[in-house]
Structure 1
């Protein structure tokens, strides 16, 4: 997918262990870049984490996927099929005209070798961020958003917008056969709220499943060493003020220094993990 290696480091010591609540962790972290966005692949070298449940579905509250923007869906799909991927979607799906916010958008969902959910997405010229139209010479352009399943949209909006300062970009309702084929979930009907940070960055989509209803919650004993664990990293320009605000709202916070960063680990109302770092 044209990700470029940025760094390859190993961390061990109490600071990172305290932050991630994992005793005596020795962690291999590979940072990759696609366009302007980054992902970190984290392998715990001395701890065997729990695997992703093989029967997990997109309405399970532990669901979280990463969405990669492509300039040509047919070429990107053909490229993926040259590898032994595990598909979720039947094939690339086109959002129908009745869904104004996403009409004409094409998407395909699949899993990586560890079972993490991924999505390819292609936008019409009038959809998505301006930068996707300015940089269309590559097949894989960058990371548009991370989508998470939530139990209550308004509860999540209070956390992400009122407390963390993100902004609502769009709202839509997706259902019928297209959504069923995209999610491989019978009768799928989902309320989607797209959020964006105040400044440029990866968005967050809230997936509130109306049908077939809410799935399994995030297990309370999940730790960052478990393969299913995914965390979003948010950069704050006044992190101490933000942390004070979160504490006033009784949000549990773990703080520690690691790899020359000051980090604060928090969880959203459904247990999705957020790592706050200073700008």
Structure 2
């Protein structure tokens, strides 16, 4: 058994917590959970940040939490000319009640767009969602998404507000088999859905030419929010830049785990190199493409 229970939050490393808070509050409806505070010692130890001043800001959108991390001295800046095909790409997908109203509110902050030509409605064969991708002040990608119906729309029907929560977080991966083995093996996630997205709407959404991208949804035992994989068959990328937890391109899934120590042993047995806090209650591991996974005792 993996001991995994649920995604309890997401993490992003940023330069300036006040700038980040204003963007997510005013543009996307996030609310502060608490004032900026020191990162818990166990988490700093697991992420290799015990020798740096690490401050976090916890914010929520609906029932989901994002923890923004600032470190001093800061790590590497966000890489120049980022693209959807970069292996450090990780977006947060935010379902919205009204796409036009959501984009209008966001536009007041003039975020950097990823999508070309505004929100895109994908073909029914790939879900029929309407989506729009853009970047926050540090370069981290986000996606607004409106579901046309079915179980995804039903899941968010009763959520209040314009921005409803965080449905999933998607990562771009270069080795699909290795990532699936990691997520379904020691982490125990289950493949819930998979498809191949392509065509002009997908190209405009992702801001790339003629993409063919495998899209795979994986669920923990508590299925929402969930993990999504984006594997670009074309275009491929030569970029292999790894980022550490203190670098501004760093992102993290935060999972609850009933047995972090046992999970750490299973990760080691899978050839990975997890780091644990001194008390063993918190574990951090980089996935096959360097994406961060933080496990905290449930």
TM-score of the superposed pair, with normalisation by structure 1: 0.90
Once residues 41 and 151 of structure 1 are traced to their aligned partners in structure 2, the CA distance between those partners, rounded to angstroms, is 26
Once residues 240 and 107 of structure 1 are traced to their aligned partners in structure 2, the CA distance between those partners, rounded to angstroms, is 39
Structure 2, unaligned stretches of length 5 or more?
1-27
**Match of 2:288?**
269
How far off its partner does 1:245 sit?
Answer: 2.1
State the aligned residue count: 270
Q: Which of 117, 138, 141 is the matching residue for 1:117?
A: 141
Higher relative contact order (CA 8 A, sep 6+): 2
Give yes or no for contact 2:45–2:278 (8 Å, CA) kept in 1. no
Once residues 162 and 129 of structure 1 are traced to their aligned partners in structure 2, the CA distance between those partners, rounded to angstroms, is 30
How far off its partner does 1:131 sit?
Answer: 2.7
Once residues 4 and 13 of structure 1 are traced to their aligned partners in structure 2, the CA distance between those partners, rounded to angstroms, is 21
Q: Which of 228, 232, 244 is the matching residue for 1:223?
A: 244
Q: Which of 244, 257, 277 is the matching residue for 1:256?
A: 277
Give yes or no for contact 1:12–1:24 (8 Å, CA) kept in 2. no
Which 10-residue stretch deviates more, 23-32 or 7-16? 7-16
Question: Do structure 1's residue 65 and structure 2's residue 86 form an aligned pair?
Answer: no
In structure 2, relative to structure 1, the CA distance for the partners of 1:129 and 1:169 (3 Å cut) is farther
Once residues 164 and 206 of structure 1 are traced to their aligned partners in structure 2, the CA distance between those partners, rounded to angstroms, is 15
SS where residue 241 of structure 1 aligns?
Answer: helix
Once residues 39 and 234 of structure 1 are traced to their aligned partners in structure 2, the CA distance between those partners, rounded to angstroms, is 12
SS where residue 7 of structure 1 aligns?
Answer: coil
Give 1:84-123 correspondences, 5 Å limit.
84-90=110-116, 91-99=118-126, 102=127, 104-123=128-147
Give yes or no for contact 1:59–1:215 (8 Å, CA) kept in 2. no
Once residues 234 and 94 of structure 1 are traced to their aligned partners in structure 2, the CA distance between those partners, rounded to angstroms, is 31
Q: Which of 171, 191, 209 is the matching residue for 2:232?
A: 209
In structure 2, relative to structure 1, the CA distance for the partners of 1:77 and 1:127 (3 Å cut) is farther
Once residues 254 and 150 of structure 2 are traced to their aligned partners in structure 1, the CA distance between those partners, rounded to angstroms, is 28
Once residues 14 and 79 of structure 1 are traced to their aligned partners in structure 2, the CA distance between those partners, rounded to angstroms, is 37
How far off its partner does 1:126 sit?
Answer: 0.8
SS where residue 125 of structure 2 aligns?
Answer: coil
